[in-house]
Amino acid sequence: LVLLGLVAFSECVVKIPLRRVKTMTKTLSGKNILNNFLKEHAYRLSQISFRGSNLTIHPLRNIRDVFYMGNITIGTPPQEFLVVFDTGSSDLWVPSDFCTSPACSKHVRFRHLQSSTFRLTNKTFSIEYGSGTMEGIVAHDTVRIGDLVSTDQPFGLSMTESGFEGIPFDGVLGLNYPNISFSGAIPIFDKLKNQGAFSEPVFAFYLSKDEQEGSVVMFGGVDHRYYKGELKWVPLIEAGDWIVHMDRISMRRKVIACSEGCEAVVDTGVSMIKGPKTLVDNIQKLIGATLRGFKYYVSCSAVNTLPSITFTINGINYRVPARAYILKDSRGRCYSSFQETTVSPSTETWILGDVFLRLYFSVFDRGNDR
């Protein structure tokens, strides 16, 4: 994994731009904009040489700085779905026309009888996310991400869903390691990698902010025009999950969490920054946030006076200013993006979600587990 400072987004190879939508209930029917990208300008990472021009840049859609989703298609002829590209999970799934849950009825469902390349198995599985749960069955079909095509790709069809009723995306495309898969199916990134679709086994995210379009996920290479500075590589604690060692979290040069080192999960499928309840509660107190309902609010007029919070990873300070960790709800009220984790691991663990990743371009290197 590598974290970098961002610059303005640039033109892309295969681009489906993100559109930020004012309300989650609006139909996500924004026009896709296709921009040609000069593939020969792919940045050569140290120890990674991008042979040829196998760089695919796929647009994402920014919904209220909370969700980042992109289009994929499944089946023959293709059926289109909006999915979250999630580094916190490994399974690809979408709703099925078998599903009768209320959440399924509000999203696009895969019509298996209309696909000539569909193949069903008898394997079932279930996944529990922070926002909900799904139970499904494994099937195979042709899946496309822009110009990337995976034939006979195993994926999940949800039979029941809970907790996804008000969520704007249809399904999830997991980008974690295969050993994290609940279905046991080979993740689409691994299948594409094995069939030689990429010059190098890396993918990267640029997440836009503040009403901007242009968020992308890129596969097989890195376009250097999406960031400034140098790549700062961080080794994974162990191959098999996007978890790194974090040195400390500080505010005004005082350590406020992770005082003896801790683990940090780099998760594009999580909107906020999450940590242990006692430490998160202390941060809310330090920034003067008060609990109202399910969120901690601050005065919008005070945001410019709030301190930055610094996450030190592999000796590098990654500063998160208040304008980044304070968000606005649908009524224009300002709230803290720090949340407590729903699980209690044995070691202190923080989840660095989109609030953090909007500030720092992130590259995930499967070839070198970093």
Catalytic residues: 86, 267
Burial of 85 (0-12, 13-18, 19+ CB in 10 A): buried
Residue-wise burial string across 120-148, b where 16 or more C-beta atoms lie within 10 A, e elsewhere: eeeeebebebbeeebbbbbbbbbbbbbeb
**CA within 13 Å, CB half, 91:** 26
Rounded Cα distance between 42 and 225, Å, is 9
Sort strands 262-266 and 349-352 into parallel, antiparallel or unpaired: parallel
Pair 315, 247: CB distance under 8 Å: yes
User: How far does CA 104 lie from the centroid of its chain?
Assistant: 22
Sort strands 119-128 and 202-206 into parallel, antiparallel or unpaired: unpaired
**Which residue's entry shows tokens 């080979």?**
186
Which residue spans within 293-369 are E strands per DSSP? Answer: 295-298, 309-313, 316-320, 326-328, 334-336, 338-340, 349-352, 360-365
Rounded Cα distance between 370 and 12, Å, is 25
DSSP-derived secondary structure for 244-271: EEEEEEEETTEEEE-TT-EEEEE-TT--
